[in-house]
Structure 1
Amino acid sequence: MPISYAQQSFSFVALGDLPYGPSDISYLPYRTLIKQINLAEPSFSIHVGDFKSGSTLCSDEEFSNQIAHFQSFQTALIYTPGDNEWTDCHRDNNGAFDPLERLNTLRKDFFRDGKTFGQNPISVASQSQRMPAFSRHVENLRWQHQSSLFTTLHIVGSNNNFEARNPSAVDEFFHRDAANVAWIKDTFAVASEQKIDLLVFAFQADVFEARNIYEDFPSWSGFRKSIAETLLPLAQQWGKPVLIIHGDSHRFKVDQPFTLNRKPLTNITRIIVPGQTDVRAVKVNVQGANLSFELIAIP
């Protein structure tokens, strides 16, 4: 039986692509931003990945420092990976790590016990528990708050690691892509079973990375199957409001850029969070399916 919720209001914070740069430069502004987020008292916060820049070390020390940052949020902090944490770690200036080893470390260190980060963590469902066929994908999470259903997807920049010249990257991409597709479908199924007013999907990538003048999602796009062929048609069929939150582009924007069969999907709103040198976060105010947005900045 569907669960009924009163039209109560709440807020959450979205941020990503932070901190960027050497620790002696980037950590202090980021920690100041976290203090401002704590003062805003959101129900929880979502970090959409890239907790380091693409030109800094992917070291265990860096990972530990970012866990400490996540634990400094007074309410729950939910994290989904970005490409800078693993796909780009083969670069010499990142420490010449094996990207798949870094991915395995992320999964081991950042996703445990069905709980979030933060001083007041919440319980979250993991795809690894709900779908045994995708048991490695501990990072794909879902939780409900009032009448809103939140889902994280492991969709990253650098064309989602769809690198045809690297067989191991291809294998990783296709398995993760299938997991994301299954998790999206399952989310819409759960939303149909419950009295959900708003669906929220959070991931790192700007999925229009491969866009050209003919297609938003050409055949070489690493986002074609998960977004164009799965999320968008299901969102159209569902009909209620969908909010997509991502980073990657670093410029704050709220818009409705998605189309299906050349027709605008007006029930889908997108937020691009600030990031890189723009050390701000987005406070999302929710009442039922109605949304408003505020920027949180450092003093």
Structure 2
Amino acid sequence: MKTTLLRAGLALGLVMSMSAAQAQQGFSFVALGDLPYGPPEKAYGPYRALIERINQVGPDFSVHVGDFKSGSTLCSDEEFANQREHFQRFKGAVVYTPGDNEWTDCHRANNGSFDPLERLAALRQRFYTPGRSLGQQPLAVQNQSSLMPSHGRYIENQRWMHQGVLFATVHIVGSNNNLESRNLAAAQEFFDRDAANVAWTEAAFEQAGLQQAKAVVLAFQADVLEAKSFWEDFPGGSGFRKIIGETLLPLASRWGKPVLVVHGDSHQFKIDQPFQFNKKPLPNITRLIVPGATDVRAVKVTVKNSAFSFEMIEIAP
């Protein structure tokens, strides 16, 4: 088993002025997603080995950014139960935000021809408990469903503070965030969730300001730049235009302090700074894309000496 270190030349705008004691001690969390992919007999073994490796590393907590199954496997109750059991293999806490494979794509015949909205309701019931994360040592979290009665369905939107950093999950998924104009129910679901996501993201930055946070970390599933056009990052038909282009980016620009965006979806490990607002780069936002699918690895993110560093967690070949 080996670990490959990718250090802070990539940190750029992620310098944080923490207290001397916090800076010396530091903390780490693990980001992963798009795992496990494939039939149980092939996918479960390597994924369980990765979880065991994460347990050996011993981060303060882990964040799974969705797609706990591939887009061509069943969305069955049995699969959901298996993935719930996987989350409980984490010796520490694990915070999970949904991906599109778990619900928006479940109408596909090779997924079992499920009703996506029924599967979304099942996810909320089976994977979320108000006030606590998953894992053997759950983390105390705040849920949007508890804090914002007008968005009472969105228990999956969570936030927590850790050593001066505000973390939040936002339910933003691939497949264009489920913006499907040909399906009235899907379109209504998108607009309702988009409004909830906007409110939750605004509240996260407001809370970060009130608590004098040193940085904000946002986690979601979708690669929001995957469908950008030559002229616009978020064209009119983009399901990410309002939540990212019109909400996150202006908020981060005004915030000015470091923002780390963690997502999956495209399966290609990357650390970059691709976002811009009003055609100007936003150097305070760094993006981490976790590996996934056939690339069964995770990323350990360490906050120490006023910077983020990134380290690959791998299993033996």
> TM-score, normalised to structure 1's length?
0.98
Q: Of 195, 200, 211, which residue of structure 1 is paired with 2:228?
A: 211
CA distance in 2, matches of 1:252, 1:9: 24
The counterpart of 2:289, out of the listed 263, 268, 272, is: 272
CA contact (8 A) 2:130 2:143 kept: no
Matching residue of 1:225: 242
Report deviation, 1:20. 0.1
Q: Equivalents in 1 of 2:163, 2:212: separation in Å? A: 10
Corresponding residue for residue 98 of structure 1: 115
Partner secondary structure for residue 83 of structure 2:
helix
Residue 175, structure 1, aligned to residue 192, structure 2: yes
Q: From 94, 99, 112, give the equivalent of 1:77.
A: 94
Q: In 1, distance between residues paired with 2:119 and 2:226?
A: 24
CA deviations on 1:102-140 (whole Å, 9 max, x unpaired) are: 000001111113211111111100000110000000000
2:216 matched residue in structure 1: 199
Q: Deviations over 1:214-264 (max 9, x none)?
A: 000001000000000000001000000000000000000000000011111
Give the match for residue 148 of structure 2: 131
Report if aligned partners of 1:198, 1:288 keep a CA contact under 8 Å in 2: no
Q: 1:281 aligns with which of 294, 298, 308?
A: 298
TM-score after normalising by structure 2 = 0.92
What RMSD, in angstroms, separates the aligned Cα atoms of the two structures?
A: 1.2
Please identify runs of 4+ aligned residues in structure 1 that moved more than 4 A.
none
Larger displacement relative to structure 2 (215-224 or 282-291): 282-291
Distance (whole Å) between structure 2 residues aligned to residue 228 and residue 239 of structure 1: 16
| Aligned-partner Cα distance in 2 for 1:28–1:36 | 12
Partner of 1:295: 312
Alpha-carbon distance, 1:195 to partner: 2.0
Report the alpha carbon displacement of residue 289 of structure 1 after superposing the two structures with TM: 4.9
* Amino acid corresponding to residue 36 of structure 2 in structure 1: P
The structure showing larger relative contact order (alpha-carbon pairs under 8 Å, at least 6 residues apart) is 2
Letter in 1 for 2:29: F
Task: Indicate yes or no: 2:30 matched with 1:13.
Answer: yes
Whichever residue aligns with residue 254 of structure 1, its letter is I
1:240 to 250, 257, 263: 257
- Does structure 2 retain, via aligned residues, the 8 Å contact 1:197–1:289? no
Q: Distance in 1 between matches of 2:188 and 2:212?
A: 37
Alignment of 1:245-264 (within 5 A): 245-264=262-281
Residue 67 (str. 1) matches residue 92 (str. 2): no
- Paired with 1:216 and 1:70, the residues of 2 have a C-alpha distance of 34
Structure 2 SS opposite 1:28: helix
AA aligned to 2:175 is S
Structure 1, gaps ≥5 residues long: none
SS at match of 1:178: helix
Secondary structure (helix, strand or coil) at the match of 1:78 reads: strand
Instruction: Supply the distance in 2 between the matched residues of 1:176 and 1:230 (Cα, whole angstroms).
Output: 14
State the AA in 1 paired with 2:253: Q
Q: What is the aligned counterpart of 2:171 among 142, 154, 162?
A: 154
Question: What displacement does 1:288 show?
Answer: 6.7
Asked if residue 122 in structure 1 is aligned to residue 160 in structure 2, the reply is: no
- In structure 2, list runs of 5 or more residues that go unmatched: 1-17
